Chain A
Amino acid sequence: MNPKEYKYTQEHEWICPEPENKGKVGITDYAQSQLGDVVFVDLPPPGSQVEHLKKMGEIESVKAVSDLFAPVSGRVLEINQAVINEPALVNQDPYGDGWLVRLELSNPSELDALMDSDKYDEFVSRLNEEGSE
């Protein structure tokens, strides 16, 4: 389910590496299902700096607010205006049209600290087990 070529954080963000040290960032399917219907996204403005695993924004559903953490450090190149206008995209297509920001990575080696898709699948299975206890 989770795209093989993406990398994942423990806070359920993904990053899809792109050529020239760039990357697209979003939240995972697990995250969107936990959150419920997304009603608002608060993203860092283009040009701003973000830091590896530090809070860079917020995602709101009707009854909850979730912090959005930067998977890697870098500069924000663009944000997904479509999601700003239609937050439902995050629920409908979290790995595609529901992407949030595009970054220029300042330290690509940070990608190695993240989980690959197999590890993330395991991580989510464990969470699901704990949840049903």
Chain B
Amino acid sequence: MGHHYLLPDISRPGRIGCSLPRLDVSPSELPPEELLRQELDLPEVSEVDVVRYFTALSKLNYGVDTGFYPLGSCTMKYNPRLHEDIAQLPGFASIHPYQPVKSVQGALQLMFELQQYLAEITGMHATSLAPMAGAHGELASILLVKAYHHTRGDKLRKKILVPDSSHGTNPATAAMCGFEVDTVPSDNEGNVDLNSLESMMNEEVAAVTLTIPNTLGLFDPQIAEISRLVHERGGLLCGDGANLNSLLGKVKFGDLGIDCVQVNLHKTFSTPHGGGGPGSGPICVKTNLAQFLPSPLVTRNGKEYTFTTPPKSIGRLGASYGNFGVMVKAYAYIRTLGAKGLKEVSENAVLNANYLKEKLKGYYHLPYDRTCMHEVVFSGKKQKAKGVKTLDIAKRLLDYGFHPPTIYFPLVVNEALMTEPTETESKETLDAYIDAMKQIAREADENPEILHTAPHNTPVRRLDEVRAARQPDLRWRMGKHY
């Protein structure tokens, strides 16, 4: 059963959800009539209604706390409760970004240390915490690339190269910065086709963006060669750090030749996903790019922390300093784990993914039968031949009580099922998921209809997305009856 009413349906004139104090000063003259609004048409509901309504809605949701959530490249790991408590401490939650710097030294210290930790973890030299999401961090990276070449006086570099397996944000970001995007094909092993890269990498290319490991969950062993090639021809190598969970505490992006990389605190560093944010996408860069970082950075002078603007900064990405409330949680995570704990994260994440790979490869087509990293990409090809789409498999998994993997991405795999278990799942959970997937493979053979019409056990059934797009209904209006 879905939830059938909206706020206007439970609104009644005279209800209010909270009490407010009376005005304790004498009122002033109101401004001119033409500035004022006549009607404020918002619902009127009591606190009880608010609580019941949103509680009921929450129960329609599936979160990491509900169960297994193997969305590839999203790293849906467990969100430690400690972090929620810490972020709500008044000294972190109730501070104003523009209050005197001397009165928020604790906040600046946290940011400074986080800058250092992220640089250390990625093997880079400087960090900006300003970007508020991964895509925002990517934007910063590409603007940085633009500034770098501009400073060198190099006006020829109008292109960014991205692999054909890249996330949509990569080319979208490049276009937002005025670059053309060219796609580098992958070879049969799922690695970058070096010959193609060789022919495409020239003085028109500003940078190559690589997700490491790539979106197929594979580590490209040619990385040193790729780095050499790109740098020799004057380009920069940008990393998309979305898949850092496979390398935490073991490998440094900087060692691989990466010049700048954005990381996702809401993926690798366990901050909650929130249903679509808030996130945080800090970028870490090598020394030669530090001068271009978005402002401001936190710097330390003796025992005092302060904000500074890098000399050739690409500018501000937001009106304050980034998503501080998210940084607090990531900071706590790193302080909880330490170097050894980070290493255990990546090792267990990679182990879990390889276990899934081995156990399911007999049932689902595995396009790249080689060791994977923190995620494995299957294809629903075998099932497609029987008329069952990956979409159907995903919807059927919901009936088994699991959130499905990422589907239809990366684009280079037909009917892709991109599966990332993360390290916070037990072997029992993985085994239960494996059993469900085996069952579904059997159903594809014996009873495909049940897959076509899945899900059956969820609050709502499959939704008419065509109707939603053809007849957009994007809001209610007060006074309209439903």
Chain A residues at the B interface, C-beta cutoff of 8 Å: 37, 39-40, 60, 62-63, 87-88
For the complex, is B466 an interface residue (Cβ under 8 Å from A)?
yes
A-B pair number, CB within 8 angstroms: 15
Report 15 cross-chain contacts, Cβ distance below 8 Å, ordered by A residue. Answer: A37-B466, A37-B470, A39-B466, A39-B469, A39-B470, A40-B469, A40-B470, A60-B469, A62-B465, A62-B466, A62-B469, A63-B408, A63-B465, A87-B470, A88-B470
Which A residues touch B465, using CB under 8 A?
62-63
A40, B465: Cα distance in complex, Å: 13
Which A residues touch B469, using CB under 8 A?
39-40, 60, 62
A88, B408: Cα distance in complex, Å: 24
Which residues from 453 to 482 on chain B have a C-beta closer than 8 Å to any C-beta of chain A?
Answer: 465-466, 469-470
CB distance from A132 to the nearest CB of B (A): 8
Which B residues touch A39, using CB under 8 A?
466, 469-470
Which residues from 436 to 461 on chain B have a C-beta closer than 8 Å to any C-beta of chain A?
Answer: none
Q: Please give me the residue from chain B that is nearest to A62 by CB atom.
A: B465
CB distance from A41 to the nearest CB of B (A): 11
The interface on chain B, measured as residues whose beta carbon lies within 8 A of the other chain's beta carbons, has a size of 5
Which B residues touch A63, using CB under 8 A?
408, 465
Which B residues touch A37, using CB under 8 A?
466, 470
Q: Please give me the residue from chain A that is nearest to B468 by CB atom.
A: A62
Additional pairs, 5, CB under 8 Å, beyond known A60-B469, A88-B470? A39-B466, A40-B469, A40-B470, A62-B466, A62-B469
Which B residues touch A60, using CB under 8 A?
469
CB distance from A67 to the nearest CB of B (A): 16
A60, B408: Cα distance in complex, Å: 18
Q: Please give me the residue from chain A that is nearest to B408 by CB atom.
A: A63
CB distance from A87 to the nearest CB of B (A): 6
CB distance from B467 to the nearest CB of A (A): 9
Q: Please give me the residue from chain B that is nearest to A60 by CB atom.
A: B469
A40, B470: Cα distance in complex, Å: 7
Q: Please give me the residue from chain A that is nearest to B470 by CB atom.
A: A39
CB distance from A12 to the nearest CB of B (A): 20
Q: Mark B179-211, 1 if CB is under 8 A from A, else 0.
A: 000000000000000000000000000000000
Q: Please give me the residue from chain B that is nearest to A132 by CB atom.
A: B385
Which residues from 376 to 432 on chain B have a C-beta closer than 8 Å to any C-beta of chain A?
Answer: 408
CB distance from B220 to the nearest CB of A (A): 26
A63, B411: Cα distance in complex, Å: 13
Which A residues touch B470, using CB under 8 A?
37, 39-40, 87-88
A6, B186: Cα distance in complex, Å: 39
CB distance from A128 to the nearest CB of B (A): 14
